[in-house]
A and B are shown apart, each in its own frame.
Chain A
Amino acid sequence: MSRVILPEPDRAILARRESIVADLTRLVGSQAIIADEIGRRAYETDALTAYRKLPLAVVLPSTTEEVSRVLAYCHRWGIKVVARGAGTSLSGGALPAEDAVVITVSRMNRVLEIDYVNRVARVEVGITNLAISDAVNAGGFFYAPDPSSQLACTLAGNIGMNSGGAHCLKYGVTTNNVLGLKLVLVDGSIVELGGPHLDAPGYDLLGLIVGSEGQFGIVTEATVRILRAAEGARPMLIGFDSSEAAGQCVAAIIGSGIIPVAIEFMDRPAIRVCEAFAKAGYPDVEALLIVEVEGSDEEIKALLDSITELAKPFDPREVRVSQSAEQSAAIWKGRKSAFGAIGRISDYYCMDGTIPLGKLAHVLVEISRICDTHGLKVANIFHAGDGNLHPLILYDANNAAEAEKAERAGAEVLELCVAVGGCLTGEHGVGIEKRDLMRVQFDASDLEQQMRVKSVFDPSWLLNPAKVFPLQGRPQAEPKPSVAAA
């Protein structure tokens, strides 16, 4: 898999590698630099492993000031920079470049302040997503966005990609849960945006930066909302004979005025693999919904009874309410480990388009048709409440022709998502993977306006190079500062 073209590295920068490493070492100390080849190998890719590039050097700063010094240096000499959290990006968002310095914030993982009264926490963004919830769990609180990789992924990456998760149907995605940021700009200057109050003053720079995929600067600290957890939560399983019936059931639930905290969908291939892995008691049906509601025991029972009634017209094959905390945990374990479980039986290419819910049945049929055409199998898992699809296209990574077919099939699936009124990516980001598909969703003036905003923050286009925006049609970057000064 390697259809996406990456630019040739800047030979002048490559030639200066040793002196750049020496300079960086002076700036942050040798304990914060990885320069040897074996060490750098660990950073050559992310969760989109088909693409690999050995970075020029890796910097592991411990403070915002260190990030600032490194960025100021790189900016002065026109050296590209790739920001990295835990490297769990499924879209190649953290893929390095041979002529770029990787700055990873993974050592900056402290909780700085927990303020239960104002329901916010201030953290360094190298903290993992789950560690935020763990830090406030004792107070009965949690941090809402919950990507499946939450055990490993950092808040830094969540901010970069505006990550979602299974429970964002009720609680929103990252951008809805971040109130403040400390951001290092490409020239090394540090700005603070927002804080423990709601709605930062002036233009919504927070909103622009969350989801900017490391294109606008490097975030080092964040103030996030923490929420008081509900008294309880319980999932139920509803199995159907067809995806169409499952989709209609989702519409009926939402149309009734009930907003569950999560509605997840799996098709038969996904159910079988997940069941084999997690022993969650998933029924062997064509389509399965996991619906979770929250509240007191009595409220939960009332809501689940209502949902059971709402499902009846769609002839559910099986309706099963979790009877214990263990069962609930197993149900979620199966879903949250789905990617890993499928990865045990096959290589896969994970797509992330979002569609209007009403198009679900049509889109699922078309996805099967597309994959059939390419001779590939597909397992479908998605966040049904918000139409965010994750078709997993199965292929053999050791078979170059098949890998290319998988990538082509994936592109066709995303084109389909856009054609029915959806988008290329609901939560994984554009990264390298969907860069060249951006013109499917956006026309020239849309992209031009986005790139003008990119240039506001990064006039010389040094940050996270060759991603998000198609290479053709990019603006002429401002001359590198060092060149301009000469």
Chain B
Amino acid sequence: MLSDVRPVDEREVARILREAGQAKTPLELRGGGSKHNVGRPMTTSMCLSTRALNGITLYEPNEMVMAARAGTLLIELEDSLAQRGQMLAFEPTSLAAVCGAEARSATIGAVFATNLSGARRITVGAARDHLLGVRAVNGRGEIFKAGGRVMKNVTGVDLCRGLAGSWGTLAVLSEVTFKVLPLPEHTETLVLLGLPDEIAIEVLGSAMGTPFEVSGAVHLQGAMVARLEHQGLAAQGRSVTALRLENFRRSVVYRKAKLKAHLKAYGEIHDLDHDNSLALWQELRSLALLANSDAPLWRISTAPSTGPNVVAAIARYMEVSAFYDWAGGLIWLEIPPTTDAGAADIRRVIATHGGHATLIRAGAEVRGTVDVFQPLEAGVEVISRRLKAAFDPAGILNPGRMYADF
């Protein structure tokens, strides 16, 4: 029976972890639970929720910095930013829809703990690139801090980066400090229809190689397009390749014209205006087009130009439908259910083409038997085990969530 604890401050987190460490009680760490079903299923006897660690603790718009306790809801924090014309530039991807969880439940601590970044990652960097400082509690129940609140800081070991993307297996983040950026004044989108994957990714790569600062570069196969809520696009019945431009209005207008001229050989280019653009990119960020399904869902990162080859190679073994982000370098791949969620074939293809794959959605039984996260090279695995022990020697924090035995 899983009992829940909701510490109200960092000291209480430390006390709980000290006691759990002594008793060797494994804990599941949870923010709002929107990513609860991602990772290997764990056998834990207690759930530590960060939801009561709540509130924005610092916001200096003129310094582009915000700090918040880890359990603060992402949606609240993004509201505060929007009121001052700012945003989290890396557009954290929401896994709530694909996991069937409450959409508004994601917390800022979990955003950094999972390092999930959306379309703008290709120009502004990932969640981990925006993390300036953390306060955290390690598996020994010791409170520590790293980084700070300033934009440039190379003082000591960069534990912020180390904790980003560690899925709660190294420490409980209690407070995060991060860089924020101005909301763009104006957004427009260029759309090409009906391109096959290889040509589409060529278009995206070509656009990324221009000086026009494309801030989103996606390609949706026809089957994915049909699931869009965006009616204008959903009705097209063929693949959609989209490029986002953001800036001051005059810049966007200028760059759009330049980019259209640059890409004219690829066929007719359609425009989405500001409002339609915001709706489309918000929808993509929510991954709503991958919701309402139990089909296994993979998240694959590879060199952008390799993306279509990876998808084609996997398609030799199974039916696939793909949504390419990051100019082709990030692939959300849905496949029909099988006993291993396609893991054997997909891992073999990745080993040939390079990159890494994470099984984001599958039943607990499957997630318990296949590698959910990319298996590590032997040398990297040794370091990873030691790193886990350096933060959490008793192995009480999300044990087994990333890797079967640590």
Q: Which residues of A contact B (CB under 8 A)?
A: 115-120, 140, 161-162, 164, 168-169, 172-173, 175-176, 185, 189-193, 195-208, 210-212, 215, 228-231, 251-252, 254-259, 295-296, 298-299, 302, 354-358, 383, 385-388, 421-430, 434, 438, 441-442, 445-450, 452-457, 468
Question: Cβ of B251: which chain A residues have Cβ within 8 Å of it?
Answer: 295, 299, 302
Q: Which residue from chain B places its CB closest to the CB of A420 in the assembled complex?
A: B150
Q: CA–CA, A58 to B210, complex, Å?
A: 44
Q: Would B211 and A230 count as touching, CB distance under 8 A?
A: yes
Given contacts A202-B373, A299-B254, A450-B156, contact A118 B121 (CB under 8 A): no
Q: Would A228 and B63 count as touching, CB distance under 8 A?
A: no
Question: Cβ of B160: which chain A residues have Cβ within 8 Å of it?
Answer: 207
Q: What are 21 inter-chain pairs, A to B, with CB distance below 8 A? A: A140-B209, A162-B154, A175-B158, A199-B115, A199-B165, A201-B358, A201-B373, A203-B166, A205-B384, A210-B158, A212-B158, A251-B63, A354-B151, A387-B151, A387-B152, A430-B154, A430-B155, A438-B156, A441-B156, A445-B143, A447-B156
Q: Which residue from chain B places its CB closest to the CB of A442 in the assembled complex?
A: B156
Q: Which residue from chain B places its CB closest to the CB of A207 in the assembled complex?
A: B161
In the complex, what's the smallest C-beta–C-beta distance from A332 to chain B, in angstroms?
A: 19
Given contacts A190-B379, A196-B354, A199-B126, contact A254 B62 (CB under 8 A): yes
Question: Cβ of A175: which chain B residues have Cβ within 8 Å of it?
Answer: 129, 158, 161
Q: Which of B64, B144, B380 sits near A445, CB closer than 8 Å? A: B144
In the complex, what's the smallest C-beta–C-beta distance from A305 to chain B, in angstroms?
A: 11
Q: CA–CA, A79 to B54, complex, Å?
A: 49
Given contacts A251-B62, A449-B138, A453-B387, contact A168 B152 (CB under 8 A): yes
Q: Which residue from chain B places its CB closest to the CB of A162 in the assembled complex?
A: B154
Question: Cβ of A452: which chain B residues have Cβ within 8 Å of it?
Answer: 390-391
Q: Which of B115, B125, B386 sits near A172, CB closer than 8 Å? A: B125
Question: Cβ of A441: which chain B residues have Cβ within 8 Å of it?
Answer: 148, 155-156
Question: Cβ of B63: which chain A residues have Cβ within 8 Å of it?
Answer: 251, 254, 356-358, 387
Counted as pairs of residues, one from A and one from B, with CB atoms less than 8 Å apart, the total is 249
Q: CA–CA, A196 to B328, complex, Å?
A: 12
Chain B 52-67 near chain A by CB (<8 Å), digits 1 or 0: 0000000011111100
Q: Which residue from chain A places its CB closest to the CB of B89 in the assembled complex?
A: A259
Question: Cβ of B153: which chain A residues have Cβ within 8 Å of it?
Answer: 354, 423, 425-426
Q: Would A176 and B157 count as touching, CB distance under 8 A?
A: no
Q: Which residue from chain A places its CB closest to the CB of B143 in the assembled complex?
A: A445
Interface centre among B151, B181, B251, B330 (most CB of A within 10 A): B151
Q: Which of A195, A259, A299, A453 sits near B162, CB closer than 8 Å? A: A453
Interface centre among B157, B330, B376 (most CB of A within 10 A): B157
Chain B residues 372 to 388 lying within 8 A of chain A, measured CB to CB, are 373-374, 376-377, 379-380, 383-384, 386-387
Q: Would A231 and B211 count as touching, CB distance under 8 A?
A: yes
Q: Which residue from chain A places its CB closest to the CB of B385 in the assembled complex?
A: A456
Question: Cβ of A425: which chain B residues have Cβ within 8 Å of it?
Answer: 153-155
In the complex, identify which listed stretch (B99-107, B235-243, B301-309) lies at the interface while the others stay far away.
Answer: B301-309
Chain B residues 302 to 325 lying within 8 A of chain A, measured CB to CB, are 302-305
Q: Would B85 and A257 count as touching, CB distance under 8 A?
A: yes
Q: Which residue from chain B places its CB closest to the CB of A217 in the assembled complex?
A: B383
Q: Which residues of B contact A (CB under 8 A)?
A: 60-65, 85, 115, 117, 121-122, 125-126, 128-129, 138, 142-146, 148-162, 164-166, 170, 181-183, 185, 205, 208-211, 213, 248, 250-251, 254, 301-305, 326, 329-330, 354-356, 358, 373-374, 376-377, 379-380, 383-384, 386-387, 390-391, 402
Q: Would A424 and B303 count as touching, CB distance under 8 A?
A: no
Question: Cβ of A198: which chain B residues have Cβ within 8 Å of it?
Answer: 121-122, 126, 301, 326, 329-330
Q: Which residue from chain B places its CB closest to the CB of A195 in the assembled complex?
A: B354
New contact pairs (18) apart from A257-B85, A425-B155, CB-CB < 8 Å? A118-B205, A119-B208, A120-B303, A191-B377, A195-B354, A195-B355, A202-B402, A205-B387, A207-B158, A211-B157, A230-B213, A356-B63, A427-B152, A438-B155, A441-B155, A441-B156, A445-B144, A449-B391
Question: Cβ of B122: which chain A residues have Cβ within 8 Å of it?
Answer: 198
Q: CA–CA, A449 to B140, complex, Å?
A: 11
Q: Would A197 and B164 count as touching, CB distance under 8 A?
A: no
Q: Which residue from chain A places its CB closest to the CB of B125 in the assembled complex?
A: A176
Question: Cβ of A257: which chain B residues have Cβ within 8 Å of it?
Answer: 85, 182-183, 185
Q: Would A196 and B303 count as touching, CB distance under 8 A?
A: yes
Q: CA–CA, A446 to B171, complex, Å?
A: 13
Q: Would A197 and B250 count as touching, CB distance under 8 A?
A: no
Q: Would B384 and A203 count as touching, CB distance under 8 A?
A: yes
Q: Which of B150, B155, B356 sits near A197, CB closer than 8 Å? A: B356
Q: Which residue from chain A places its CB closest to the CB of B330 in the assembled complex?
A: A198
Q: Which of A215, A259, A354, A457 sits near B383, CB closer than 8 Å? A: A457
In the complex, what's the smallest C-beta–C-beta distance from A356 to chain B, in angstroms?
A: 6
Q: Which residue from chain B places its CB closest to the CB of A118 in the assembled complex?
A: B303
Question: Cβ of B303: which chain A residues have Cβ within 8 Å of it?
Answer: 115, 118, 120, 195-197
Q: CA–CA, A302 to B251, complex, Å?
A: 9
Given contacts A203-B384, A357-B62, A457-B383, contact A386 B150 (CB under 8 A): yes
Question: Cβ of A429: which chain B residues have Cβ within 8 Å of it?
Answer: 154
Q: Would A356 and B149 count as touching, CB distance under 8 A?
A: yes
Question: Cβ of A210: which chain B residues have Cβ within 8 Å of it?
Answer: 158, 161
Q: Which residue from chain A places its CB closest to the CB of B402 in the assembled complex?
A: A202
In the complex, what's the smallest C-beta–C-beta distance from A443 to chain B, in angstroms?
A: 8
In the complex, what's the smallest C-beta–C-beta distance from A395 to chain B, in angstroms?
A: 24
In the complex, what's the smallest C-beta–C-beta distance from A32 to chain B, in angstroms?
A: 25
Q: Which of B154, B380, B390 sits near A456, CB closer than 8 Å? A: B390
Question: Cβ of A116: which chain B residues have Cβ within 8 Å of it?
Answer: 209
Q: Would B155 and A424 count as touching, CB distance under 8 A?
A: yes
Q: Which of A203, A302, A421 sits near B150, CB closer than 8 Å? A: A421
In the complex, what's the smallest C-beta–C-beta distance from A153 to chain B, in angstroms?
A: 14
Q: Which residue from chain A places its CB closest to the CB of B301 in the assembled complex?
A: A197
Q: Would A259 and B304 count as touching, CB distance under 8 A?
A: no
In the complex, what's the smallest C-beta–C-beta distance from B197 to chain A, in angstroms?
A: 15
Q: Which 9 A-B pairs have the closest CB atoms?
A: A207-B161, A257-B182, A386-B151, A201-B356, A201-B374, A426-B152, A191-B379, A196-B303, A251-B62
Question: Cβ of B376: which chain A residues have Cβ within 8 Å of it?
Answer: 201-202
Q: CA–CA, A254 to B358, complex, Å?
A: 38
Question: Cβ of A204: which chain B residues have Cβ within 8 Å of it?
Answer: 115, 128, 161-162, 164-166
Interface centre among A164, A201, A426 (most CB of B within 10 A): A201
Q: CA–CA, A424 to B181, complex, Å?
A: 25
Question: Cβ of B65: which chain A residues have Cβ within 8 Å of it?
Answer: 356
Q: Would A449 and B142 count as touching, CB distance under 8 A?
A: yes
In the complex, what's the smallest C-beta–C-beta distance from A404 to chain B, in angstroms?
A: 24
Q: CA–CA, A453 to B156, complex, Å?
A: 11
Question: Cβ of B121: which chain A residues have Cβ within 8 Å of it?
Answer: 198
Q: CA–CA, A421 to B177, complex, Å?
A: 12
Q: Would A423 and B148 count as touching, CB distance under 8 A?
A: yes
Given contacts A428-B154, A456-B387, contact A185 B304 (CB under 8 A): no
Question: Cβ of B128: which chain A residues have Cβ within 8 Å of it?
Answer: 199, 204, 207
Q: Would B254 and A255 count as touching, CB distance under 8 A?
A: no
Question: Cβ of B304: which chain A residues have Cβ within 8 Å of it?
Answer: 117-118
Q: Which residue from chain A places its CB closest to the CB of B183 in the assembled complex?
A: A257
Q: Would B150 and A208 count as touching, CB distance under 8 A?
A: no
Question: Cβ of A115: which chain B residues have Cβ within 8 Å of it?
Answer: 303
Interface centre among A215, A257, A454 (most CB of B within 10 A): A257
Question: Cβ of B384: which chain A residues have Cβ within 8 Å of it?
Answer: 202-203, 205
In the complex, what's the smallest C-beta–C-beta distance from B225 to chain A, in angstroms?
A: 24
Q: Would B162 and A207 count as touching, CB distance under 8 A?
A: yes
Q: Would A202 and B380 count as touching, CB distance under 8 A?
A: yes
Q: Would B380 and A427 count as touching, CB distance under 8 A?
A: no
Q: Would B211 and A228 count as touching, CB distance under 8 A?
A: yes
Q: CA–CA, A115 to B303, complex, Å?
A: 10
